[in-house]
Chain A
Amino acid sequence: MSTGTHPHADSPVSDALHADSLRAQSGPYFGDFGGRFVPESLVAALDELSAEYALAKADPAFAAELTELHRSYSGRPSLITEVPRFAAHGGGARIILKREDLNHTGSHKINNVLGQVLLTKRIGKKRVIAETGAGQHGVATATAAALFGLDCVIYMGEVDTERQALNVARMRLLGAEVISVTTGSRTLKDAINDAMRDWVTNVETTNYVFGTVAGPHPFPAMVRDFQKIIGEEARQQVLDLTGRLPDAVTACVGGGSNAMGIFHAFLDDPEVALYGYEAGGEGITGLRHAATLTKGRPGVLHGARSMMLQDEDGQTVESHSISAGLDYPGVGPEHAWLASIGRATYLPVTDAEAMDALRLLSRTEGIIPAIESAHALAGTLELGKQLGPDAVILVNLSGRGDKDMETAGRYFDLLDAGAEQL
């Protein structure tokens, strides 16, 4: 198999695998997690999406079109970069970054969006909606909508429109309508609620381009399939560079799409440990965090049974993270399943640890990561110290930090007085 091409064109992974392969899961359930907990009004649209996706997956023309977009529009395959000066702070282990930050629009989100927008075109709908937290998925969706001439509405919590103002401007410049959501906690979870209300109302004309591996079937499996190119490329790239598989693969986990994207290719490699780093916020002993897998319980949120932060009555508890993209009280069902069977390990990283790692990577390697991705970097430094200098660790650098400069500027006091308006 040649490097740099992914196997969509010959056979979908799930068809080629044995039933006991961890990679063979295609929903609606992953163990006890997943399903469809949605209003009946949406079932027909979800069935249509499932059916069209199954057809698209089996259609070489669809794969070819997506591959061409990856190559000529978003810039795949993305690089890997070894970061020895950064790794010196992590026990000397070899640390290799998968550079999703170099994709067009600045994160891994474009991988999924291009797939779903091609699917929208196939279904024949002219309007797309999406939720966004940090704004990366919203920007990616607005970008793809501009490329394909679709109407685009992005739902974003009011809190997030304030802390990610630059991404709001990007989406509007791209021609999308951005709706600031003022209900509930005014963050990502409420943006999803309003996007679902829009979809229930406009389902005949509208496709919901869901941004992560959560939500009702088929979203968890479909979004993962559109993201698994990350791990498929990286697995071969690390083999080419080091002659072996990594000892560990790490990623940050909010909803979990970048993590599933890089984990998936390694699920059937038992010698490769998988680590997901959740937002520990101000610390997991209190309530101001988003450590869903560490501190949550099984429950139903946004259409799927998974792990979630909730009170005794099943009311969703508001999450907290300095990173808008991880500030979500739920997580994708496949992660809940991987945690339950012990295949992947999920650990919390605090706001402060993530910000330290963000600054460290900037200063040692000249790469400014997104605050989300900085959670994976902070966790990797600790993991490196445990595994020692012989270890090889692959980190998904899921996004770049341009959007976070206002937060970082305040956090590190980088701005001159009188220059507060970024």
Chain B
Amino acid sequence: MSTTPVTSPVEATIAARRAAGGGALVGYLPVGFPTLSESIDAAVAIAQNGVDVLELGLPYSDPVMDGPVIQAATQQALANGFRLRHGFEAVAAITAQVDTPVLIMTYWNPVLQYGVDRFADDLAAAGGAGLITPDLIPDDADAWLAASERAGLDRVFLAAPSSSDERLVQAVTQSRGFVYAVSTMGITGARSDVDSAARVLVTRLREAGSTSACVGLGISTPAQVREVLQYADGAIVGSALVKALADGGVAAVATLAAELAAGARDIRAAG
């Protein structure tokens, strides 16, 4: 059986950063916060300031993986009238301005209601690279595996410190773009220390065959980005960017992105 190999721009971007002696910076922002147009401007701004891969979150009523900062932002977006179609509009508007690959991060029910195939088609048409699915595990993902294969989209599954070796192999095998290594047992939000469990998890993912492992949860500073990229292919920052956007607007989030990117460029500068 032969399957057509899909070239993943996300994977290529991460590999290029790695080859250049650093690692990739993945930046999360929710669509529709504080408004749809400002969320697009903010995403473009962080891409122009060194974020290598964009992770655009779709606001959802029951975000069980998210901590207070992202919950507050996405609840505000929903209160402001966020609709799923705004997600595709945002992807199209962003990819028209920057070459940075754009992944959508979404809980599963919105995709299910939109229609898995229709969602894949519309995301591909908008120029999106794929999906990060925090509450969809490969075990229950048959429809998405088929749709993403057909549409040539990346699919990023999560790996956790608690995952068995068998499940890590499954996550590596079924993911494309990267595997999202959850740094700690918990939810999104800045932490003063990145858990040492992250390093162990990435080592285990390497043993499971991963060549593209990005670490997320709790990363908020350039020093933490640099630390994580000592062993991982990418560092994912979410709540810190959302907080900067909430507190200081597009200018502030752009500044933070540039600082984080500096941490990602020359990881030998670790101190």
Chain A residues with Cβ below 8 Å from B171 are 40
Chain B residues with Cβ below 8 Å from A47 are 164
| A residues 155-203 touching B (CB-CB < 8 Å) | 183-184, 189-190, 193, 196-197, 200-203
Chain B residues with Cβ below 8 Å from A312 are 113
Chain A residues with Cβ below 8 Å from B63 are 193
Q: Contact partner of B61 among A37, A204, A316, CB < 8 A?
A: A316
A367 on the B face (CB < 8 A): no
| B residues 20-60 touching A (CB-CB < 8 Å) | 60
Q: Contact partner of B113 among A189, A204, A310, CB < 8 A?
A: A310
B12 on the A face (CB < 8 A): no
Chain B residues with Cβ below 8 Å from A35 are 140
Q: Given A38-B137, A200-B187, A313-B113, check contact A184 B158 (CB 8 Å).
A: no
Chain A residues with Cβ below 8 Å from B112 are 299-300, 305, 314
B157 on the A face (CB < 8 A): yes
B65 on the A face (CB < 8 A): yes
A126 on the B face (CB < 8 A): no
Q: Given A197-B64, A313-B110, A315-B60, check contact A203 B185 (CB 8 Å).
A: yes
Q: Decide: A201 and B187 in contact? CB cutoff 8 A.
A: yes
| A residues 342-371 touching B (CB-CB < 8 Å) | none
Closest Cβ–Cβ distance, residue A198 to chain B (whole Å): 9
Nearest B residue to A313, CB-CB: B84
Q: Contact partner of A43 among B75, B84, B137, CB < 8 A?
A: B137
A11 on the B face (CB < 8 A): no
Q: Decide: B135 and A184 in contact? CB cutoff 8 A.
A: no
A243 on the B face (CB < 8 A): no
Nearest A residue to B162, CB-CB: A44
The 8 A CB mask of B70-107 against A (1 = contact, 0 = none) is 01000100100001100000000000000000000000
A302 on the B face (CB < 8 A): yes
Q: Given A197-B187, A300-B109, A313-B110, check contact A44 B62 (CB 8 Å).
A: no
| A residues 282-306 touching B (CB-CB < 8 Å) | 297, 299-303, 305
Docked pose: A136 CA to B67 CA in angstroms = 28
10 additional A-B residue pairs with CB within 8 Å, beyond A43-B163, A193-B62: A36-B139, A37-B137, A39-B135, A40-B158, A40-B160, A41-B185, A44-B163, A196-B64, A204-B162, A300-B112
- B residues bordering A, Cβ < 8 Å? 60-65, 67, 71, 75, 78, 83-84, 108-114, 134-137, 139-140, 157-164, 167, 171, 182, 185-187
Can you list 22 A-B contacts with CB-CB less than 8 angstroms, sorted by A residue number? A37-B137, A38-B64, A39-B158, A40-B171, A43-B137, A43-B160, A44-B162, A44-B164, A184-B61, A197-B64, A197-B187, A200-B64, A201-B186, A300-B135, A301-B62, A303-B135, A305-B112, A313-B83, A313-B113, A314-B112, A314-B113, A315-B110
